[in-house]
Chain A
Amino acid sequence: MPDLGKYTEYVLLSYGLSIGLLVVLLALTLRRGRKARTALRRIEEETSRNGKN
């Protein structure tokens, strides 16, 4: 860990908050994407079973 001197808390806070926000964005994006793709697969199966597609 480099010596950040009197700026330690500012630098670490910047990195911590930014990386945290990016991880949350990534997690929410993947979760929403997975849910949407699963829902589409289900409804496509249902429509093809009913011979409507």
Chain B
Amino acid sequence: MESVRVSLRILRPGMFTTVQDLGRSEHQRFGVPVSGAMDSWALRVANLLVGNDEGDAALEVTLTGPTIRFETGALIAITGADLGATLGEAPLAPWHAACAPSGAMLSFGGAAVGCRAYIAIAGGIPITPVLGSRSTFVRAALGGYMGRPLRRGDVLPCGEPSSLARRIASATGGGKAGATVARWSAGAALRPAYSAAPTVRVLPGTHAHLLSAPSADRLYGATFGVSPQSDRMGYRLQGCALELGAPAELLSEGVAFGTVQLPPGGDPIILMADRQTTGGYPRIGEVATVDLPLVAQLRPGDSVRFRRVSLERAQALYLAREHDLAEARRAIALRFPE
């Protein structure tokens, strides 16, 4: 089997396209945000579909997708929101792998629901890791491709596809003239129920008891709007301000992906991938990890409601979902045996 170094050429960058992996852990104590994919579940599944390690670097595409030309044939997969991808002439629905022949163009038409799609390429994107990760943290110009979103003319390398990737590619029609989309795809269990108005499960926050009684009710009853001032660092909610029963003076301490904090203005913020490592605002809730993809796919103008979940239930859901992913990994290995 000949080994080729595929590369991707960015013809149009789209709104905000970055290289992301599962993030830069082990450096939070130096104040370095974790970053990584906003919808890390979708990134993991995308990697799975092309025979990669689940933490390999891939592209995170935001709302308006890029136009990409594959300089050599490649096995790719798209997951996350349906941003209307087309590979050559063929529509490429999310959660599918596809073979892109040399010279093929991947473009995006637009989204009905959701905000972010992931493009994984067999072999990953082997740019040099910074502090243990290939994720892009734009605010500090750290990692990724030159620490910034992709621009027109950028050329990204691709790594060596795994032997599993080669088997998937040849079964999917690699070598044929046109683009071929796999007839199989990630099963329903692997696809989060993205929505423009989801209900998201939230665990009680450390300082939930500091909320005034009406605000404590509203947290789990009201509909919050997603503010235009929402980005990879955090989602600002609006339309239903909350208040504390009494002013609280808190010391800054560690926060997490999904922490719902309440700044003095009363509009809650959900901390996301590029969140700061520590925070001093009251933490009124914590989004269950299994529902973070639903938040990561919200766009400005969407709405969200919260439903209370216990820690035990949230962790049981987490373990069940990890089990689903492990099952999918086994199923793919079985479907494309050596």
Q: Do A and B come from one complex?
A: no
